[in-house]
Amino acid sequence: MSIEIDHVNKHFRDFIAVDNVSLTFREGELTALLGPSGSGKTTLLRIIAGLEQPDTGRIRFHGEDTTELHVSQRGVGFVFQHYALFKHMTVFQNVAYGLTVRPRRTRPGKAEIRDKVMRLLELVQLDWTAHRYPHQLSGGQRQRIALARALAVEPKVLLLDEPFGALDAKVRAELRRWLRRLHDEIHVTSVFVTHDQEEALEVSDRVVVMNKGKVEQDGSPEEVYDNPANPFVYQFLGNVNRFRAGIHAGEARIGDIRLPAPEFHDRRNESGLAYVRPHEIEVYAEAVASDTLPARIELISVVGPTVRLELRTDAADDLVHAELPKHRFHALGLTQGNDAWIRPVQSRVFLPDSQVSNG
């Protein structure tokens, strides 16, 4: 079932949480709503669920307007950030809840409920916890029970609010791979909210980047990472260096380095900023070519197989971060406090006033 968000606005007192957002989530896709805290992603998710009412705009499920439909009638599965498992009920009773509270006419029989709950508990690999209470489970297990409970009502869409936010790093990584596999199995249209870019890029079919209530970019994980639409997305998805650049006839010039910037083919002699990721910078021990930038190594830190350098160069206002594999670092023989030469090999250029424009 597809979800259509049509010009939705929501404010709390004088804070604008969702600012005229229109989006469509396609049938069967797993979408990540990615953004910093306060970007409006959770509010948008709660509006889709019917837990908040939009000020203006419509929500449609598969073309059917659900804006006025109460949350209890909307048929969404919602997984809360802190799981919201019912403390006084066993795992079994929690998962069965959505079925047992149905009116007598549509309520399945006892045996049917039992079978269904046990099937779901098997699906989340926790059938052995049926008679335990939530407090007897670990965080990751509670998360999976919350998911099973949401799935028990056969929701049309599955909504997850920071599903891995409260877990430690190792469990997080395991659980998100598990969620990906689960989604491939059940294929229900799913939206999850996260502030963790790695999580969004790894798990989802599609990433929607939000900031200050607006959608900054909407695309596949690869698209969003490789081709960020604007400086915000660039900075939010991983580390980035900013070089002062001249823009002239479809080229960006950082010192003597010329990098293609075809979208600015009609600009002449303007200045902008070139955004370059740490792994897109080549480092040399000597000036191998005329177009390298001289720099000074301020700090070397070895992080597992990678070496991170902090360099000072005239072409950038801040320290430049570069990353290279350890074997390459050793081959170069670089030392802290000495000179090095660097060359960005790829960049994306933005004009200074383009902070919010979609480039």
Partner 1 sequence: MAGVAASRGRVIPGFGLTMGFTLLYLGLVFLVPVGAFLLYTTTLSWETFWNAVTHRQVIASYKLSFGSSLIAATINLVFGALVAWVLVRYRFPGKKLVDALVDLPFALPTAVAGIALVTLYASTGWVGQYLDVFGIRVAYTQLGVIVALTYIGLPFVVRTVQPVLEDLDAEWEEASASLGAGRLTTLRRVILPALLPALLTGYALAFARALGEYGSVVFISGNLPFRTEITPLLIVARAEQYDYQGAAAIGTVMLVAAFLMLLVINGLQWWTSRRYG
Partner 2 sequence: MSDKLAKRVGLSSVTVAQAHPRQGPAPLWRRATEEPAWVRVALIGTALTFLALFLMLPLAVVLYSAFERGLGVWYSAITEPDALAAIRLTLLVVAIVVPLNTLFGIAAAWAIAKFEFRGKPILISLIDMPFAISPVVVGLIFVILFGSQGWLGPWLSAYDLRIIFAVPGIVIVIAFGTLPFIARELIPLMQQQGKEEEEASLTLGASGWKTFWHVTLPNIKWGLIYGIILCNARAMGEFGAVAVVSGRIRGETNTMPLHIEVLYNEYMFTAAFAVSSLLTGLALVTIAIKSVVEWQEERRQKLAEA
Residues that bind partner 2 (CB under 8 A): 49-51, 70-78, 80, 82, 84-88, 97-98, 101-102, 135, 149-150, 152-153
The smaller minimum CB distance to partner 1, of residues 101 and 287, is found at 101
CB 35, CB 41: distance < 8 Å: yes
The smaller minimum CB distance to partner 2, of residues 101 and 186, is found at 101
The three-state secondary structure class of 90 is coil
Smallest distance from partner 1 to CB 68, Å: 5
Q: Give the Cα separation of 34 and 228 in Å (integer).
A: 13
Smallest distance from partner 2 to CB 84, Å: 4
Smallest distance from partner 1 to CB 67, Å: 9
Please return the burial class of 58, using the count of CB atoms within 10 Å of its CB with bins 0-12, 13-18 and 19+: middle
The smaller minimum CB distance to partner 1, of residues 213 and 221, is found at 213
**Partner from partner 2, partner 1, none contacting 88, C-beta within 5 to 8 A by type:** partner 2
Smallest distance from partner 1 to CB 6, Å: 17
Smallest distance from partner 1 to CB 84, Å: 13
Q: Which DSSP state fits 318?
A: S
The smaller minimum CB distance to partner 1, of residues 66 and 230, is found at 66
The smaller minimum CB distance to partner 2, of residues 25 and 236, is found at 25
Smallest distance from partner 2 to CB 343, Å: 49
Q: Give the Cα separation of 319 and 254 in Å (integer).
A: 15
1 Cβ neighbours under 8 A, 6+ residues apart: 27, 61, 62, 156, 157, 189
**For strand 320-325 and strand 306-313, is the pairing parallel, antiparallel, or unpaired?**
antiparallel
Other CB atoms within a 10 A radius of the CB of residue 118 amount to 15
| DSSP letter string, 226-282 | HS-SSHHHHHHSS--EEEEEEEETTEEEETTEEEE-GGGTT--SEEEEEEE-GGGEE
Within 35-94, the residues that bind partner 1 by CB under 8 A are: 50-53, 68-73
**Partner from partner 2, partner 1, none contacting 171, C-beta within 5 to 8 A by type:** none
Count of residues near partner 1 by CB under 8 A? 10
**Partner from partner 1, partner 2, none contacting 182, C-beta within 5 to 8 A by type:** none
- Which residues lie near partner 1 (CB under 8 A)? 50-53, 68-73
